[in-house]
Amino acid sequence: MTKLRFIVIPTKNNYEEYSEEIVSKIKDIEDCTADLDKNYNETLNSRVSKYKKNNKNVITIGLSEVEHNTIMIHFNGTRPKTMELDEFVALLESYDEEDSENDDSSSSSSSSDDDDVGEMFQKQKSTSKKIESESKETEEEEGCVIS
């Protein structure tokens, strides 16, 4: 199975500790991986754009996210969405469980926000092999590999 890949981008180095906690939680989930971008020499927009062009799912962390224990998730082709960290982790875990139990794309959610994010995961799931292939080609061309 292709892993869901995330890049966590703190807006300032003050938020690295919380960002590292997020990376750790994502890596603890089977079939998911995450990396931390600490390059503060570039603007946030350029950092987000760089990864989105390479078909990465981006999580940005600012003061509001740290204070409220949330994340801002940027899936490819969708608007950024704020989620509670625990809800996000539970969603990742349910994605992994659904995939291992049944490759069916149906799932149940308790709210419209969950439905939106669940749809994003289903879209990600259905295109993950294509994204992974394109991503590897791009990384090889650029000479960088993120794992």
Residue 37: the pLDDT is 97
Q: Any residues with CB less than 8 A from the CB of 97 and at least 6 apart, and which? A: none
Q: Where are the domains of the chain?
A: 4-142
The three-state secondary structure class of 20 is: helix
pLDDT in tens, 36-95: 999 999 999 999 999 988 888 999 999 999 999 999 998 876 789 999 999 999 998 887
The answer to whether domain 4-142 has CATH 3.40.50.800 is yes
Distance, in Å, from the CA atom of 139 to the CA atom of 143, rounded to the nearest integer, reads 6
Q: Check: pTM over 0.75? Answer yes or no.
A: no
Report which residue type is found at 55. N
What's the number of CA atoms in the CB half-sphere (13 Å) around residue 72? 15
| DSSP letters spanning 22-78 | HHHHHHTSTTEEEEE---TTS-HHHHHHHHHHTT-EEEEE-HHHHHHTEEEEE-TTS
User: In this structure, what token pair is assigned to residue 56?
Assistant: 């990465």
Residue 107: CB atoms within 10 Å: 16
